[in-house]
Structure 1
Amino acid sequence: MADEGFADIELQDSKLLLWFPLPYRVLFLVIAGVWAWGLNLQYLYSLRIDVAALIKYSRHGPEVPMHTSVYKVASILSIILFANLVIFWQCTGMDVDSVKRWQMLPGLLLVIMIVVLVLPFNILHKNGRYRFLKNFRRIAFGYIDREQRFSDLLLADVLTSYAKVLGDIWICSCMFITGMSSTSAPERQCGGTFMLPIIIALPYAIRLRQCLIEYSRASGKPDSERKPHLYNALKYSSAFPVILFSALQNTTEVGSTGITGEAALYRFWLLAVLVNSFFSFYWDVARDWDLSFFSSTRSNPEHPYGLRQNMIFPVPSVYYSAIFLDCLLRLTWSLKLSPHLDRYGDLEGGIFILQFLEIFRRWVWIFFRVETEWTRTETRIGGEIMLAEFPPYKSDSD
């Protein structure tokens, strides 16, 4: 455990820790994800993409757009968070001892949010809340439903973006259970050196298992349909070395040499970061978004360079911007998977920003992933008739 006096100094020196302790940052990022999903749904709805049909969500009663329901839940959660945070500020006055003493307030907030989620009454869009809980329970064990495949994969992929947030939830819980204040400076070694890395790795283990299940289900199909599931499993596996080498650096003495020394472990970790980042980036662009950027057909005159023929978003520059952003933020997120960076207290603000940026990256990713699934579905169902709905690409020279 970190020295209590040192933790107090760290808390005193960091305005972020005083104004916005770790439990509040975790809950803020969760609510931000709800708002982001609502924005996804609203814009896709404006493009006439039926997300409800893609995720096999059966609505009951009046046909209210899904984003309206999501916004209502997000608004209620945001109001509760803001009210609780204001009370916390009033009670603590930004005093170190008071901040540590009033940890019950974010704890109460968490309980209220859980109650809102599991509320059994037919209010606050019970069907949607319970559908989410059912899907989450299923993917938490690495399962994948045949009928709701896309929904399960989408949720599990989002969970990987919240891997570090899950780690922070563990830190808050561990500090509370072991008698430390969850609103004090985060003790990221709580529970031992390897407990936090294990928590961070869980979402990737879930997606790995899903990929292997899909590979097994594809038995008897051509290799072109079956092998991509193995490659996808390999992609998620590439996150484990990043997490492992980072955790090992926490146990290594400064200046140590040899294959397990400080310099060697750093090089292994850096190599793992690069492999994971660019493997994930390639998969996003080539497989999840079906773009030809890495394909020999990227110069096909029937579509903009590196993209594809059937595009729903209005201009090619949107796709190019998404590719650039995904590449940049994939690299920073791989760095963020590294628990050893958390030992530097002055990085707390940077850690929070990187977590928020990863949620932003996932928000952008969802637009193109859903659009891609929609074009695939339209192609499978309607053939040439449905494809006629896509506007043909016209180059500037046409």
Structure 2
Amino acid sequence: MSGASLPVSINSPVLRRAGGKPVVSDQGLDSTETGEQGSILTANDTDMKSGNVLLHGAAMTPSPILLWRLKILLFLAWGISCCKISWDSVMRMSADLRDLFLYEAFLYYNPLLLMTLTVFLWGVNLWVFAQSSVNYAKVFDLDHNHLTHREVWKCAIWMIVVVPTSMTAYLYLYSHGEVSLAASQPVILYAIIVMVLIFPFDIFYLSSRYYFLRTLWRIILPLQAISFADFFLADILTSMSKVLSDLERSICRMVNHQVATIAWFEADSICGSHSVVIPLVLVFPYLCRFFQCLRQYKDTKEKTSLLNALKYSTAIPVIFLSALKYHVLPEKWTGFYRPLWLFSSILNSLYSFYWDITRDWDLSIFSRVFKFKNPNLCTNLFYGRIWVYYWVLSSNLVLRCTWTYKLSAHLRHNYITVFTITALEIFRRFQWIFFRVENEWSKMTSKSNSELVMEEMVKEEERLLGSSIHDI
């Protein structure tokens, strides 16, 4: 019996290793035991060799944690290098020209840095929505190719790297006398950004880029029914009106070949403080939002749309009264126009704050957005906490007032203060987004639930009518 040859099943644990394919000898069922054992040993040896190769390859591949740490080290080294080179470049300038030198460099890169902050905070918004019950993709009517928070953060990281690198190159070249090369740095950067936005090929998130550009076009020309995405992006643009104004000044200097000069401090400079284009650019997002409200009233006949349009119209006197400082005598500005400007600023701030609380937000569902699907530290910290109410209401009121103050044209040379206030306004809008999108999602869900109830009632009525007719 010991010398008999037994048939071996393909599913035998001897022949099949975990995750491997069955190995069968070429010989028939009457093969000798020695031949079968040789075949089995050969298969096992082959599998062991393959396993060793896989283990060796896995050992050669860096772990994700190691790659992440390497990226952080490279990022820190890059950041320290940029700071060191920029500081040395600024210190090379004479003391009387240093402030002007920083001021001009700040003009070109300040808008892009603030845009980077906006993109990063938008990624945070999307991350919170993804963790909560708010379906932001349905709110904005996005397709399945829309950007997730990780992809938005990738865009922000690229901007964080590219913009300061270009700024460092500008400072270094300018301080070392390479004026023409320094002047080309912001021009090249702006050209790259425009090319990335309009690039027609299916790279760099083509569908998302074109969705953004189409929405911008609908904001500029509201010739069709206004969607929530149109309202939403136009509101964000009102918070970035100063960014758009700085962009206009930067492009104006590039077009007029004034980059890497200090000519814009002269009174007769084309792109200087006396330019009438500056208040026009500041007021443009508010005008777009104003006409959107009028178009909405035309489509829906809702009177609240007219009240909303009135809110945006209150920003127009704030901007143009402030711009008059550069076109009237100082005594006339202080005695007549400045009190009017203060009154219009207070009116716009209080009206906007009231509208945020009563219309854009719904305090009955105020913190539902922080009730994540998987409870964690953020849920415990924010959801159901009374201090969240107080913080959002108070910070929204204070930042509304400071933002209106910053819209003033006579503050444009205080670039550090203006940059700080603009960044705070972007942060205020970042908070506003949570509750505005949540409110819209709640309206959509309540409307869909009402439609389902009505549909069930109609079906039940039809069923009852059908049964009564049958009985007759």
The TM-score with structure 1 as length reference comes to 0.79
Is the 1:176–1:182 Cα contact (8 Å) retained in structure 2? no
Is the 1:100–1:184 Cα contact (8 Å) retained in structure 2? no
Residues 108 and 251 (structure 1), Cα distance of their counterparts in 2 relative to 1, 3 Å cut: same
Aligned residue number for residue 250 of structure 2: 172
Distance 1:40 1:288 in 2: 17
- Between 1:204-213 and 1:166-175, the stretch displaced more is 166-175
Matched, 1:206 2:288: yes
Matched, 1:21 2:88: no
Aligned residue number for residue 317 of structure 1: 387
Please tell me the residue identity of whatever aligns with 1:89. Answer: L
Q: 1:79 aligns with which of 153, 156, 161?
A: 161
Please tell me the residue identity of whatever aligns with 2:291. Answer: R
Residues 106 and 37 (structure 1), Cα distance of their counterparts in 2 relative to 1, 3 Å cut: same
Matched, 1:42 2:127: yes
Shift in Å, 1:378: 1.5
Aligned residue number for residue 409 of structure 2: 339
Distance 2:170 2:246 in 1: 20
Residues 328 and 98 (structure 1), Cα distance of their counterparts in 2 relative to 1, 3 Å cut: farther
Matched, 1:51 2:136: yes
Distance 1:101 1:262 in 2: 44
Is the 2:283–2:316 Cα contact (8 Å) retained in structure 1? yes
Residues 282 and 143 (structure 1), Cα distance of their counterparts in 2 relative to 1, 3 Å cut: farther
Query: Identity of aligned pairs, percent?
Result: 33
Aligned residue number for residue 110 of structure 1: 190
Q: 2:297 aligns with which of 202, 215, 219?
A: 215
Aligned residue number for residue 207 of structure 2: 127
Aligned residue number for residue 350 of structure 1: 417
Please tell me the residue identity of whatever aligns with 1:46. Answer: Q
Is the 1:72–1:124 Cα contact (8 Å) retained in structure 2? no
Distance 1:155 1:243 in 2: 21
* Structure 2: unaligned runs, 5 residues or longer: 1-93, 371-382, 454-472
The C-alpha deviation readout for 1:190-248, integer Å capped at 9, x for no partner, is 355422111111000000000000001113xxxxxx11100000000000010111011
Distance 2:218 2:278 in 1: 23
Distance 2:223 2:235 in 1: 13
The C-alpha deviation readout for 1:356-384, integer Å capped at 9, x for no partner, is 11111111111111111111112111259
Distance 1:206 1:143 in 2: 12
Partner SS state of residue 211, structure 1: helix
Distance 1:99 1:110 in 2: 18
Matched, 1:137 2:207: no
Distance 1:203 1:23 in 2: 21
Aligned residue number for residue 241 of structure 1: 317
Q: Which has the higher helix share?
A: 2
Is the 1:215–1:230 Cα contact (8 Å) retained in structure 2? yes
Aligned residue number for residue 150 of structure 2: 68
Residues 143 and 283 (structure 1), Cα distance of their counterparts in 2 relative to 1, 3 Å cut: farther
Larger Rg: 2
Matched, 1:230 2:306: yes
- Between 1:359-368 and 1:234-243, the stretch displaced more is 359-368
Partner SS state of residue 331, structure 2: coil
RMSD: 2.7
Matched, 1:197 2:279: yes
Aligned residue number for residue 304 of structure 1: none
Distance 1:50 1:365 in 2: 17
Q: 1:288 aligns with which of 356, 360, 376?
A: 360
Residues 201 and 309 (structure 1), Cα distance of their counterparts in 2 relative to 1, 3 Å cut: closer
Aligned residue number for residue 162 of structure 1: 240
The C-alpha deviation readout for 1:119-158, integer Å capped at 9, x for no partner, is 2222222111111111112112245545xx1111110101
Aligned residue number for residue 440 of structure 2: 373
Distance 1:136 1:182 in 2: 31
Shift in Å, 1:179: 3.6
Shift in Å, 1:24: 0.8
The TM-score with structure 2 as length reference comes to 0.67
Distance 1:68 1:165 in 2: 25
Is the 2:406–2:421 Cα contact (8 Å) retained in structure 1? yes
Please tell me the residue identity of whatever aligns with 1:175. Answer: R
The C-alpha deviation readout for 1:304-341, integer Å capped at 9, x for no partner, is xxx55884431242232111111010001101111122
Partner SS state of residue 56, structure 1: coil
Please tell me the residue identity of whatever aligns with 1:106. Answer: P
Larger relative contact order, structure 1 or 2 (CA cutoff 8 Å, min sep 6): 1
Distance 2:366 2:405 in 1: 35
Distance 1:362 1:121 in 2: 32
Please tell me the residue identity of whatever aligns with 2:190. Answer: L
- Between 1:74-83 and 1:357-366, the stretch displaced more is 74-83
Distance 1:128 1:27 in 2: 19
Is the 1:92–1:99 Cα contact (8 Å) retained in structure 2? yes
Please tell me the residue identity of whatever aligns with 2:99. Answer: D
Please tell me the residue identity of whatever aligns with 2:284. Answer: L
Is the 2:225–2:296 Cα contact (8 Å) retained in structure 1? no
Distance 2:339 2:173 in 1: 47
Q: 1:151 aligns with which of 201, 223, 229?
A: 229
Partner SS state of residue 204, structure 2: coil
The C-alpha deviation readout for 1:26-61, integer Å capped at 9, x for no partner, is 11111221111111111111113111110001124x
Residues 11 and 163 (structure 1), Cα distance of their counterparts in 2 relative to 1, 3 Å cut: farther
